[in-house]
Chain A
Amino acid sequence: MRGRYVIAGVGHTDFGKLGLDTVTLNAMACGRALQDAGVDKSLVDGLFVKVPTSAPKEILYGQKVSEALGLQPRWGGAWDQGGAANITLINMAMMAIETGQCDIALISYADNPRSGTRQAYARPRGNEAPYGWFSTAAGYAMIHRRHVAEHGTPERAFAAVAMAARKHGATNPKAQLRKPLNMDEYMASPWVVEPLRRDDCCLVSDGGAAVVVMSADRARQLQVKNPVPILGIGGAQTSFDLPLRETLTSTQAVRSGAQAFRMAGLKPQDVDVAQIYDCFTITALMTLEDYGFCKKGRVNDFVRDGQIEIGGVLPINTAGGLLSETGMPGMQLVIEGVRQIRGTANVQVPNAKVSLVSNQGGVMHTHSTLILGN
């Protein structure tokens, strides 16, 4: 599969508080992605939509987006796998095209929790609500605590992830939070669910983002200007809720990354730039460990001294990630991964040849990995 498929176009809306419904945001992002690819919408026969986190129970959501786009694709629908769904849907689109079931696919995600309801992020978790068990953040806080206890992970490691994202995001004119962060400010950041500080937590944002996927052959045929080859892709999930997991300190990035690296024929050392899903700082740290950029428990040595900032060993989240650009879960990271290979990123890693993107969902329930490159 290596290099047989490309991301032919990318598009996104503004991020922040937009006051628009999610179907409209999806349609706007898709329109821009098609425009970027230079492809007429009449050619699209696959529409793969991630379920909006704010409205997980909406029936036939994918069909509503399809209708708004005036499409009648052979393949279409909505998929719920939390934040891992974006790259998973790219994977599904590739498989559909590979088997001749689809020719050109749009993959899209939009949500509006900032102007709509944030209830999904604060909701009670099952029958544990009487114990006060609420929110997405609390699950990550459980993992964060355990990682610190098992590996002695210092606060400056968590701060390094936030500071890199905020440094890069500060120069991104589209970013929702354009304010650099220093160590003192990080340490002064208030607890939300201890040990998570406010600056460990991603933004809450409205926005939409979409990509166009087709075969490399089709892209040549259509004379697509800036196709970016997909070198590797993979996914994995535990599915188990936190209390049912034997370990809290490893993620599905282990399996999802191994699959993507195997397909690409590459190793972590080959990666020039990475977009590492950073819904919370602990997520980025554990993903770096589990991809094999460093040994388990030694992530502080990897992220210290600006090594994950531009100019460092592995610049991550070069558009600001979820902590600075937009809190929407994941597709914006794919788009930034594409820009790095095109050489059009705002914070561009010079001569980037291999660009890695991670997506993950739930409380580390699901994971997906994308490796792009020329």
Chain B
Amino acid sequence: MSAMKELQTDYPVPEVDHINRPYWDGLKEGKLFYQACACGHHWLPPRALCPQCLGTEWQWKMACGQAELISWVVYHVAYHPAFKDKVPYNVAIVALDEGPRLMTNILDDSEHLSIGAKVSLLVDTTLAVPLAQFQLVKNTGGTYEVL
């Protein structure tokens, strides 16, 4: 805990509630959880009912951490003061091997990204609010090539 990096006071934090608490608690331990229903549907972000069968027979499952890059953008403008010193930074959509997709950051230089590239989970548990971020798996997938 002593190594925990403090957040700027105005840094946006997630709204944690009784539905999504296991998700955010999991990230504190470096684990990414998704919801898996008895009907076979997998999803994120967390919700109370399965959006496919509307049932409640679902459980949390841990993602293997492998994913594919669907698309990404690079912010050259900070829409929030906490990101003023971070521009240019990327935000990406990735598809987990288990199916669910999520918004994330790819912790590589944006110049090296390509659609379809394989990425793997990297959670910095020293952050006050650990995030499910990803990094490129070198030499795999998409059109990505090691320079």
Q: How far is the CA of A125 from the CA of B103 in the complex (A)?
A: 10
Asked whether A193 lies within 8 Å of B129 as measured between CB atoms, the reply is: no
B12 within 8 Å of A (CB atoms): yes
Q: How far is the CA of A142 from the CA of B75 in the complex (A)?
A: 11
Q: Which residues of A have CB within 8 Å of B44? A: 243
* Secondary structure dominating the interface of A: helix
A35 within 8 Å of B (CB atoms): no
In whole Å, how far is A242's beta carbon from the nearest beta carbon of chain B?
6
With a 10 A CB-CB cut-off, give which of B13, B74, B114, B115 has the most chain A CB atoms.
B74
A351 within 8 Å of B (CB atoms): no
Residues of B78-95 at the interface with A, using a CB-CB cut-off of 8 Å, are 79-80, 83, 86, 88-89, 91, 93
B43-78 CB contact bits vs A (8 Å, 1 = yes)?
111000000000000000000000000111111110
B35 within 8 Å of A (CB atoms): no
| Residue from B20, B76, B83 within 8 A of A194 (CB atoms) | B76
Asked whether B76 lies within 8 Å of A243 as measured between CB atoms, the reply is: no
In whole Å, how far is B81's beta carbon from the nearest beta carbon of chain A?
11
| Residue from B103, B110, B115, B131 within 8 A of A149 (CB atoms) | B115
Q: Which residues of A have CB within 8 Å of B11? A: 130
Asked whether A142 lies within 8 Å of B12 as measured between CB atoms, the reply is: no
In whole Å, how far is A363's beta carbon from the nearest beta carbon of chain B?
12
Q: How far is the CA of A149 from the CA of B103 in the complex (A)?
A: 19
The stretch of A14-22, A71-79, A133-141, A211-219 in contact with B is A133-141
B105 within 8 Å of A (CB atoms): yes
| Residue from B13, B91, B129 within 8 A of A132 (CB atoms) | B91
Q: Which residues of B have CB within 8 Å of A124? A: 12, 79-80
**Considering only CB atoms, which chain B residue lies closest to A240 in the complex?**
B51
- Tell me whether A131 and B115 are in contact in the complex, defined as CB-CB below 8 angstroms, given that A124-B12, A145-B71 are known contacts: no
Asked whether B91 lies within 8 Å of A145 as measured between CB atoms, the reply is: no
B104 within 8 Å of A (CB atoms): yes
Q: How far is the CA of A196 from the CA of B75 in the complex (A)?
A: 10
A99 within 8 Å of B (CB atoms): no
Asked whether A132 lies within 8 Å of B86 as measured between CB atoms, the reply is: yes
Q: How far is the CA of A193 from the CA of B89 in the complex (A)?
A: 10
Asked whether B131 lies within 8 Å of A195 as measured between CB atoms, the reply is: no
Asked whether A191 lies within 8 Å of B45 as measured between CB atoms, the reply is: no
Asked whether B79 lies within 8 Å of A142 as measured between CB atoms, the reply is: no
A298 within 8 Å of B (CB atoms): no
B15 within 8 Å of A (CB atoms): yes
Q: Which residues of A have CB within 8 Å of B133? A: 131
A248 within 8 Å of B (CB atoms): yes
**Considering only CB atoms, which chain A residue lies closest to B76 in the complex?**
A191
Q: Which residues of B have CB within 8 Å of A146? A: 70-71, 115
Asked whether A129 lies within 8 Å of B71 as measured between CB atoms, the reply is: no
| Residue from A131, A134, A190 within 8 A of B104 (CB atoms) | A131
Residues of A341-368 at the interface with B, using a CB-CB cut-off of 8 Å, are none
**Considering only CB atoms, which chain A residue lies closest to B14 in the complex?**
A127
Asked whether A142 lies within 8 Å of B45 as measured between CB atoms, the reply is: no
Q: How far is the CA of A142 from the CA of B73 in the complex (A)?
A: 6
- Tell me whether A248 and B73 are in contact in the complex, defined as CB-CB below 8 angstroms, given that A130-B129, A132-B83 are known contacts: no
A59 within 8 Å of B (CB atoms): no
B101 within 8 Å of A (CB atoms): yes
Q: How far is the CA of A195 from the CA of B75 in the complex (A)?
A: 9
Q: How far is the CA of A245 from the CA of B105 in the complex (A)?
A: 19
Q: Which residues of B have CB within 8 Å of A183? A: none
B123 within 8 Å of A (CB atoms): no
**Considering only CB atoms, which chain B residue lies closest to A247 in the complex?**
B70
Q: How far is the CA of A196 from the CA of B73 in the complex (A)?
A: 9
* A–B complex contacts, Cβ < 8 Å, 28 sampled: A124-B80, A127-B45, A128-B91, A129-B12, A130-B129, A131-B103, A131-B133, A132-B75, A132-B80, A133-B91, A134-B83, A142-B93, A145-B71, A145-B72, A145-B73, A146-B70, A146-B115, A149-B114, A149-B115, A191-B76, A191-B88, A193-B75, A194-B75, A194-B76, A242-B103, A243-B101, A243-B102, A243-B103
Given contacts A125-B103, A146-B115, A244-B43, 14 further A-B pairs with CB under 8 A are A127-B15, A128-B103, A130-B14, A131-B105, A145-B72, A145-B115, A192-B77, A194-B74, A194-B75, A195-B73, A243-B70, A243-B93, A248-B70, A248-B71
Using a CB–CB cutoff of 8 Å, the interface residues on chain A facing chain B are 122, 124-135, 138, 141-143, 145-146, 149, 190-196, 242-244, 248
